[in-house]
């Protein structure tokens, strides 16, 4: 644009006229040059500074154009892969239809061996043909391997066909921010895996400080916000938005207590535990802030408050991860924290074994000076004891003189006589006698002595024993007191001076007593005492509470409180059996797999997936267990025990007590007959007639056998159970006799066969195995196997049935083949739908390409009509300016006279 000069109000000088004309000339020349460039290049903008807003819009549009172009390229590639996939699958349905027709032609009983053999050969060729289709390569990648495009998906090894692909799909961007699956995995078309073997066991990972908040509630996570922690008087708002782990939450709560208070947050096996210091009283509560849900999702929401008691959070159910340690699974260990006011004095006691046995153990301090007539131990001499039975309270009395020290023991065991005060008083003229009385309200035992000092110690013992609350005896713990002297008298000066107290010396069953010195013993010394007792150390792991320590050097240096006590709780589950491992039957072979040395779930999965058992193991969708599936077609697949209980603990045993009878034998179930279905004959010849009409599960059958009226005395002499090795129902007979444990099939009933006790067509089971001592064991076969759902499994089953001329198996295999054909039909429909979707996307992208190019053109390209018109105008302006300039530069002084 030309510069704008001010209009002078006085006489115009020649210099100003010349400057204005030169400026006009320059402006016209620049404009003409720009217009010539626009016309020559077709671009209205040469550099962004010429029109910054338009340039910015054009850059965004151009970037979008490039992304759309790449999306169209992706679409073209995806369409080619889908087209190749559909072409490959086209002939599969025809092949299966041909096989179906051939097999139906030889299913009758009059077909000759030659006809069946011809059908077998056709099935064999179909298997090879379909395997070749399944392994088809297009543009350097296997079409049906899922996301493992460089690995051959279907591998044939003799009569086995294994699927080595996966269930994932390859994805590409078919539009901006729109991912599209570009293939179908072979498992979705041909089939590749068995149904998942998974029990009902929740591995229930324990919560730790490193547990991610995103893993809570089975992986649902929490909504991170703020919580309000109150002691009943003041409230502190705590922002948890930046917390990532449970440890972070605990640390933030510990660092932000209500003013003047201490709140200790810890991570227990199941979640968070908050504890308010006892010194200031109050009422600990936790509420939400601003309508949030953070406190509730952390399991610590409590608006009513818990006083100064610990606020124990709800179970927050962390998700199972591959990195989850096996030490954090299969249940929890009983645990407690023995707390004392202040810092550096809390002790963690945790059972070494999972399970309920670690629950209900109380830990309490005992002032050792109360126990007997000795002065008691000094700090550094602490010791701990454990009693599985209730322990009576006791106290020592040390009288002046010799041979007269006493120890008093409660007549009833437990804590009811703890903290009983023993007082010696002047009871008047008693002579050598004494009195004793107990006040249960004040928990005081009063001993009366003679006012003249004539009371003899033996009469004191008699008075106490006669009262009945305690029993008294001479205390030999203090050697300086000398031998017992029943006639030793009690000086009157002991009245009001000699006292005793039972303290915390009594305890209920399962109590750990830690003997300490009052006001001197530290937590570190208590820890040494606990770890120094072999019995306690074998039961519990003890340590200083890290969160209670003010620093590494100060840990455990704080004095303990005599009144502190705690009881272990929260233990559940059982210890895992990792050494025995699993017994997997697959591919007509038995594989024994041990997890000895495994540390994490990833180790377990790697061991299974890396074995030659032909399985795929992974964490289940709910994040609380693992599932195992077979990849080998044509064979039964089952998981049982290998002499232990590993399979049951991991929840992957394929036959359990909860297995429905209707699901056995590949879904054919167990028939319900009328009357006796089979008979168990014991070693002693006793016959047990079993009717399974009322049974619905495998456990129901086991219970019918174990609870049979003829199998009760003396005890369950034949025990039915799940097999300890492999699978199946196992019978164990400890009776002696001339007979041998066996099972007889009832006439007109197939239940004995369907439960695995007898072979098909047989009337009696195979001989039982005789063990050490003459006990016999009869193990039925596994009647709940799984199988791979695939066309190859169906064809291999058909082939086997034709070879054995088994009409029943052939009928089942044909039903499986029908299911395969339905799956392939749905897969082809899916391919067609995806291809149609890509066509629609491609048409839309073409339209968008035209629209985007038009938008870009409108922003940066030249409007030729406007540009040519502007050029002509500028040229005329330039010519006029040149003429005026020529005239202006010819002026002289005469022009102004």
Q: What digits encode the pLDDT tens for the residues 495-505?
A: 999 999 999 99
Give residue 892's pLDDT.
62
* Token couple for 293: 């849900």
d(CA 753, CA 748): 12
Question: Is it the case that residue 897 has pLDDT exceeding 60?
Answer: no
Residue partners of 594: CB distance under 8 A and separation at least 6: 578, 579, 580, 581, 607, 642
Question: Is it the case that residue 891 has pLDDT exceeding 90?
Answer: no
Question: Is it the case that residue 859 has pLDDT exceeding 80?
Answer: no
Question: Is it the case that residue 863 has pLDDT exceeding 70?
Answer: no
Question: Is it the case that residue 10 has pLDDT exceeding 60?
Answer: no
Question: Is it the case that residue 2 has pLDDT exceeding 50?
Answer: no
Q: Is residue 75 classed as helix, strand or coil in its secondary structure?
A: helix
Q: CB–CB of 762/745 below 8 Å?
A: yes
The 10s digit of each residue's pLDDT in 135-186 is 999 888 898 888 888 889 999 887 789 999 888 887 777 777 777 777 888 8
The 10s digit of each residue's pLDDT in 321-351 is 999 999 889 888 999 999 898 889 999 999 9
Q: Is residue 379 classed as helix, strand or coil in its secondary structure?
A: coil
**What residue has token string 């006085």?**
10
Asked whether the whole model's pTM tops 0.85, one would answer no
Give residue 3's pLDDT.
47
**What residue has token string 């005239």?**
887
**What residue has token string 């001479």?**
474
Give residue 6's pLDDT.
55
Q: CB–CB of 417/469 below 8 Å?
A: yes
* β-pairing verdict for 565-567 and 362-367: antiparallel
Q: What are phi and psi of 873, to 5 degrees?
A: -65, -40
Q: What percent of the chain has a predicted confidence (pLDDT) above 70?
A: 94
Residue with the larger pLDDT of the pair 690 and 43: 690
Residue with the larger pLDDT of the pair 865 and 666: 666
Question: Is it the case that residue 737 has pLDDT exceeding 50?
Answer: yes
- The angle at the Cα of 891, spanning 888 to 897, to the nearest 5 degrees, equals 130
Picking from 677, 657, 687, 810, the residue whose alpha carbon sits closest to that of residue 754 is: 677
d(CA 244, CA 51): 48
- 35 — pLDDT class (breaks 50, 70, 90): low
């Amino acid at each position: 644009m030309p510069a704008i000069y001010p209009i002078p109000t006085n006489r115009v000088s020649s210099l100003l006229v010349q400057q204005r004309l030169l400026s006009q000339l320059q402006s016209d020349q620049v404009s003409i040059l720009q217009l010539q460039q626009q016309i020559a290049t077709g671009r209205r903008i040469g550099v962004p500074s010429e029109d910054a807003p338009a340039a910015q819009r054009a850059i965004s549009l151009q970037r979008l154009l490039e992304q759309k172009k790449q999306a169209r390229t992706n679409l073209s590639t995806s369409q080619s892969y889908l087209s190749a996939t559909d072409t490959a699958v086209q002939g599969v349905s025809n092949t299966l239809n041909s096989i179906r027709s051939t097999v139906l032609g030889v299913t009758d009983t009059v077909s000759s061996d030659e006809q069946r053999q011809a059908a077998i050969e056709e099935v064999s060729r179909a298997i090879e043909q379909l395997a070749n289709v399944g392994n088809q390569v297009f543009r350097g990648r296997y079409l049906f391997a899922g996301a493992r495009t460089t690995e051959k998906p279907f591998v044939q090894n003799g009569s086995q066909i294994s699927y080595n692909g996966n269930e994932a799909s390859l994805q590409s961007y078919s539009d901006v921010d729109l991912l599209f699956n570009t293939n179908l995995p072979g498992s979705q078309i041909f089939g590749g895996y068995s149904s998942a073997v998974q029990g009902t066991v929740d591995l229930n990972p324990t919560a730790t400080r490193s547990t991610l908040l995103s893993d809570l509630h089975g992986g649902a996570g929490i909504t991170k916000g703020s919580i309000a922690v109150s002691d009943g008087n003041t409230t502190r708002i705590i922002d948890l938005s930046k917390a990532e782990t449970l440890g972070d939450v605990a640390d933030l709560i510990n660092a932000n207590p209500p003013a003047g208070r201490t709140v200790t947050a810890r991570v227990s096996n199941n979640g968070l535990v908050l504890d308010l210091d006892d010194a200031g009283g109050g009422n600990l509560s936790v509420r939400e802030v601003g309508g949030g849900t953070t406190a509730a999702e952390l399991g610590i929401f409590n608006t009513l408050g818990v006083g100064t008691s610990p606020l124990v959070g709800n179970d927050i159910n962390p998700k199972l991860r591959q990195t989850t340690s096996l030490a954090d699974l299969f249940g929890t260990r009983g645990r407690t924290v023995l707390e004392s006011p202040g810092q550096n004095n809390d002790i963690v006691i945790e059972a070494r074994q999972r399970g309920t046995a670690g629950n209900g153990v109380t830990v309490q301090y005992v002032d050792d000076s109360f126990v007997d007539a000795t002065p008691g131990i000094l700090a550094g001499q602490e010791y701990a004891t454990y009693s599985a039975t209730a322990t009576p309270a006791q106290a020592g009395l040390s009288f002046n003189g010799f041979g007269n020290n006493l120890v008093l023991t409660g007549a009833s065991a437990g804590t009811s006589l703890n903290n009983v005060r023993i007082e010696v008083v002047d009871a008047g003229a008693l002579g050598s006698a004494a009195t004793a009385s107990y006040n249960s309200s004040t928990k005081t035992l009063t001993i009366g002595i003679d006012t003249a000092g004539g009371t003899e110690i033996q009469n004191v013992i008699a008075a106490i024993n006669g009262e009945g609350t305690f029993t008294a005896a001479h205390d030999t713990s203090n050697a300086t007191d000398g031998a017992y002297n029943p006639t030793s008298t009690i000086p009157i000066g002991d009245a009001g001076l000699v006292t005793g107290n039972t303290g915390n010396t009594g305890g209920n069953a399962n109590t750990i007593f830690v003997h300490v010195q009052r006001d001197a013993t530290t937590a570190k010394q208590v820890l040494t005492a606990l770890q120094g007792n072999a019995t306690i150390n074998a039961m519990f792991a003890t340590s200083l509470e890290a969160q209670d320590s003010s620093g590494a050097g100060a840990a455990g240096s704080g004095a303990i409180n005599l009144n502190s006590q705690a009881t272990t709780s929260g233990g559940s589950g059982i210890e895992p059996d990792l050494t025995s491992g699993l017994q997997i039957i697959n591919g007509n072979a038995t594989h024994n797999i041990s997890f000895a040395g495994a540390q994490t779930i990833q180790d377990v999965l790697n061991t299974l997936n890396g074995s030659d058992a032909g399985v795929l193991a992974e964490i289940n969708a709910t994040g609380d267990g693992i599932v195992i599936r077979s990849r080998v077609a044509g064979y039964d697949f089952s998981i049982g025990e290998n002499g232990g209980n590993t399979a049951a603990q991991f929840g992957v045993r394929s036959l359990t007590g909860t297995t429905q009878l209707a699901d056995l034998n590949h879904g054919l179930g167990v028939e319900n007959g009328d009357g006796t279905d089979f008979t168990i004959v014991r070693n002693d010849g006793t016959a047990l007639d079993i009717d399974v009409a009322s049974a619905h599960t495998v456990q129901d059958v086991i219970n019918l056998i174990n609870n049979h009226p003829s199998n009760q005395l003396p005890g369950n002499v034949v025990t039915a159970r799940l097999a300890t090795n492999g699978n199946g129902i196992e019978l164990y007979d400890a009776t002696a006799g001339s007979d041998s444990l066996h099972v007889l099939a009832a006439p007109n009933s197939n239940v004995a066969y369907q439960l695995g006790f007898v072979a098909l067509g047989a009337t009696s089971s195979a001989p039982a195995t005789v063990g050490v001592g003459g006990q016999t064991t009869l193990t039925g076969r596994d009647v709940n196997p799984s199988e791979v759902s695939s066309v190859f499994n169906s064809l291999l089953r058909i082939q086997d049935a034709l070879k054995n001329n088994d009409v029943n198996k052939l009928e089942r295999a044909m039903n499986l083949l029908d299911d395969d054909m339905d799956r392939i039909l749905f897969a082809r429909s899916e391919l067609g739908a995806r291809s149609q979707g890509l066509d629609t996307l491609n048409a839309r992208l073409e339209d968008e390409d035209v629209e985007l190019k038009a938008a870009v053109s409108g922003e940066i390209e030249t409007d030729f009509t406007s540009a040519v018109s502007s050029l002509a105008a500028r040229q005329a302006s330039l010519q006029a300016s040149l003429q005026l300039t020529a005239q202006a530069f010819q002026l002289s002084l005469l022009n102004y006279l």
